[in-house]
């Protein structure tokens, strides 16, 4: 039954307004009838037996009509019995027998009160029981969940709600008890993949036998009619006051439409991911090349387990005046929308940078041109655009809301570029200012997106300081693509091969004064760009030109 402190039940028996006179009348009639019967049976019955009959009348009044009529019946019975016992008009023996009669009267009084109280208690208990039962029946009937109640002693399911029978594909008139085994056998309970499970693994059994509270477990029901229903299961034990498991209750809800929706969504996301990734790949330049004597290498790595492709991109090209442009960007947002904006942003910035040969001017124009497009999706793009004069090494750049680029000096130290401007595409009419630096012979610049800084490992994020440390110190300098591969290798080791976000990186090296490319100094290097392609999936970058795009050349983080 429902425990005290549990839900308040509605009162099903309407309480009478005022006294129900019919109960009182019936009680009077009962007593009168009994007195009449006793009067007639006087020749055959001793007075001592009378109380027994009167007590019966009182008990009947208490059980059938409640407290008030019971009290009236008691008073009437008492008067009648007192009349019989004490009336001098009756031919009763006097003397010592009178005291005996008083004693009998007191005994009668006590007996009748006790009997009445007991009867009232039973009456009320019965009423409560019926009420709780009716509430329970209503719950089982109307709650849109399957509910089963099992009994510990008989190891049987005593009742299943109407909706439960419906979900199980059983006829609505089916009545228990069913053995607990029915849940795996006749009722076809399976795991989410449709595999059969032992009885001991089912929620109801675990609640019934181990007292386990099972919450929100996914199961499948393979119904006799062949339909498969996905359900979410909850179960828990019903315990006695001493904590002994007396039974269990299980509830299951139909989530078929939810699982189907989830599957459709996953499928759609996967398709979108594929399209966006193809778009992204088509956008990216090849991984390494030489532009006006400057070596450039770039890489893009998609996030490990994010179905939505991010908007990271990179590019390197010569402008109209022969400067070498270095472009890395990150469009806010993910998915197809971001991929489309990425294409627009990259191509537009490239076009303006080519035409103007000025980073601030190119981004001011791109910002004006892209504003409406970005405004529509409340997005923006962070950009690092640097233009290097290959003859002098002067670097004019704009760092628009982007991570600082790292410049490695020839003495082994490093510098970070200043953040110069806000993001592109967010502020209408914004004029970009930019900054300036210089790349000496043998010096290099590394530009990346925040996915590299934010790469999470067991000991935290990779971070800007660690990136800087990877690029500086007394280490031998490789070619641009070697530098890139080293940095990626360290970041991958840090994050155990899984980037939580997309990463784009570009490295640009200015050759040392003797004109020798770092690559040509490497043992085994045939010519500046004659290194054999690495085995796909084994790390490293590929020589320019590489016809299949960069990803196949770089080791895929998903394979790590």
305 binds another protein (CB under 8 A): no
How would you label 502-537 residue by residue, b for 16+ Cβ within 10 Å and e otherwise? bbbbbbbbbbbeeeebbbeeeeebeebbebeebebe
- CB 430, CB 422: distance < 8 Å: yes
CA distances from 539 to 109, 146, 172, 559 (A): 102, 55, 64, 11
Separation CA 512–CA 74 (nearest Å): 120
Q: At closest approach, how far in Å is the CB of 380 from another protein? A: 6
CA distances from 422 to 318, 327, 428 (A): 25, 16, 12
Cα-only R_g, the chain: 45
Q: Nearer Cβ to another protein, position 251 or 423?
A: 423
549 binds another protein (CB under 8 A): no
- CB 219, CB 249: distance < 8 Å: no
361 binds another protein (CB under 8 A): no
- CB 180, CB 150: distance < 8 Å: yes
Q: Nearer Cβ to another protein, position 334 or 350?
A: 334
Q: Nearer Cβ to another protein, position 69 or 379?
A: 379
Q: At closest approach, how far in Å is the CB of 383 from another protein? A: 12
Contact pick of 286, 295, 389, 421 for another protein (by CB under 8 A)? 421
Q: Nearer Cβ to another protein, position 422 or 534?
A: 422
Q: At closest approach, how far in Å is the CB of 142 from another protein? A: 36
By CB under 8 A, the residues from 371 to 400 that bind another protein are: 375, 378-380, 382, 399-400
Q: Which of 363, 370, 432, 446 lies closest to 403 in space, CA to CA?
A: 446
Contact pick of 160, 359, 423, 491 for another protein (by CB under 8 A)? 423
Q: Nearer Cβ to another protein, position 27 or 424?
A: 424
540 binds another protein (CB under 8 A): no
DSSP string, 30-48: HHHHHHHHHHHTGGGS-GG
254 binds another protein (CB under 8 A): no
Q: At closest approach, how far in Å is the CB of 445 from another protein? A: 17
Region of 159-167, 174-182, 237-245, 418-426 interacting with another protein (CB under 8 A): 418-426
CA distances from 131 to 125, 171, 292 (A): 10, 27, 92
Q: 437 phi and psi, to 5 degrees?
A: -145, -165
Q: At closest approach, how far in Å is the CB of 488 from another protein? A: 21
403 binds another protein (CB under 8 A): yes
Q: Nearer Cβ to another protein, position 423 or 506?
A: 423
Contact pick of 164, 404, 511, 550 for another protein (by CB under 8 A)? 404
Count of H helices and E strands in the chain? 13, 20
Q: At closest approach, how far in Å is the CB of 270 from another protein? A: 19
The torsion angle over the Cα atoms of residues 270, 275, 276 and 281, rounded to 10 degrees, is 120
By CB under 8 A, the residues from 323 to 342 that bind another protein are: 330, 332-333
450 binds another protein (CB under 8 A): yes
Summarize as ranges the residues that interact with another protein (CB under 8 A).
Answer: 330, 332-333, 375, 378-380, 382, 399-404, 419-423, 426-427, 430, 433, 450, 454
């Amino acid at each position: 039954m429902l425990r005290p402190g549990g839900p308040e039940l509605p009162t099903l028996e309407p309480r009478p307004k005022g006294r129900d006179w019919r109960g009182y009348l019936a009680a009077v009639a009962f007593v009168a009838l009994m007195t009449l019967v006793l009067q007639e049976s006087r020749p055959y019955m001793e007075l001592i037996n009378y109380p027994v009959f009167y007590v019966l009348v009182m008990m009947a009044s208490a059980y059938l009509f409640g407290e008030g009529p019971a009290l009236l019946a008691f008073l009437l019975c008492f008067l009648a019995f007192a009349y019989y016992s004490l009336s001098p008009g009756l031919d009763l023996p006097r003397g010592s027998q009178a005291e005996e009669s008083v004693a009998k009267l007191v005994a009668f009084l006590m007996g009748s009160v006790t009997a009445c109280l007991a009867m009232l208690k039973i009456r009320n208990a019965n009423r409560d029981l019926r009420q709780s039962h009716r509430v329970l029946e209503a719950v089982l009937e109307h709650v849109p969940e399957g509910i089963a109640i099992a009994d510990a002693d008989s190891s049987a399911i005593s009742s299943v709600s109407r909706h439960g029978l419906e979900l199980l594909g059983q006829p609505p008139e089916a009545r228990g008890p069913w053995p607990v085994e029915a849940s795996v056998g006749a009722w076809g309970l399976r795991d989410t993949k449709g595999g059969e499970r032992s009885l001991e693994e089912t929620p109801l059994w675990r609640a019934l036998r181990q007292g386990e509270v099972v919450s929100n477990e996914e199961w499948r029901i393979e119904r006799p009619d062949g339909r498969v229903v996905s359900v979410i299961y909850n179960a828990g034990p019903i315990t006695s006051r001493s904590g002994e498991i007396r039974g269990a209750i299980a509830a299951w809800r139909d989530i078929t439409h939810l699982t189907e929706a989830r599957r459709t969504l996953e499928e759609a996301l996967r398709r979108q991911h594929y399209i966006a990734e193809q778009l992204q790949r088509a956008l990216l330049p090849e991984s390494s090349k030489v532009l006006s004597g400057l070596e450039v290498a770039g890489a893009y790595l998609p996030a490990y387990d994010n179905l939505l492709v991010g908007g990271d991109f990179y590019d390197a090209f010569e402008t109209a005046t022969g400067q070498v442009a270095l472009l890395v960007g990150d469009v806010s947002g993910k998915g197809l929308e971001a991929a489309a904006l990425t294409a627009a942003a990259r191509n537009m910035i490239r076009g303006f940078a080519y035409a103007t040969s000025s980073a601030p001017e190119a981004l001011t124009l791109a910002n004006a041109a892209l504003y409406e497009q970005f405004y529509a999706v409340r997005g923006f793009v962070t950009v690092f655009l640097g233009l290097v004069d290959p003859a002098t090494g002067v670097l004019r750049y704009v760092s628009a809301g982007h991570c600082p680029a790292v410049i490695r000096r020839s003495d082994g130290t490093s510098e970070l570029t200043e953040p110069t401007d806000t993001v592109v595409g967010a502020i209408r009419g914004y004029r970009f200012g930019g900054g300036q630096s210089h790349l000496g012979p043998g010096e290099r610049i590394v530009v990346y997106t925040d996915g590299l800084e934010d790469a999470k490992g067991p000991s935290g994020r990779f971070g800007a300081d660690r990136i800087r440390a990877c690029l500086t110190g007394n280490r031998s300098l490789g070619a641009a693509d070697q530098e890139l591969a080293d940095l990626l290798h360290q970041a991958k080791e840090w994050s155990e091969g899984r980037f939580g976000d997309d990463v784009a990186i570009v490295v640009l090296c200015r050759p040392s004064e003797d004109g020798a490319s770092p690559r040509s100094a490497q043992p085994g290097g045939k010519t500046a760009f004659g290194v054999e392609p690495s085995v796909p999936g084994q790390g490293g970058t590929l020589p320019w030109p590489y016809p299949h795009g960069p990803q196949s050349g770089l080791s895929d983080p998903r394979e790590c």
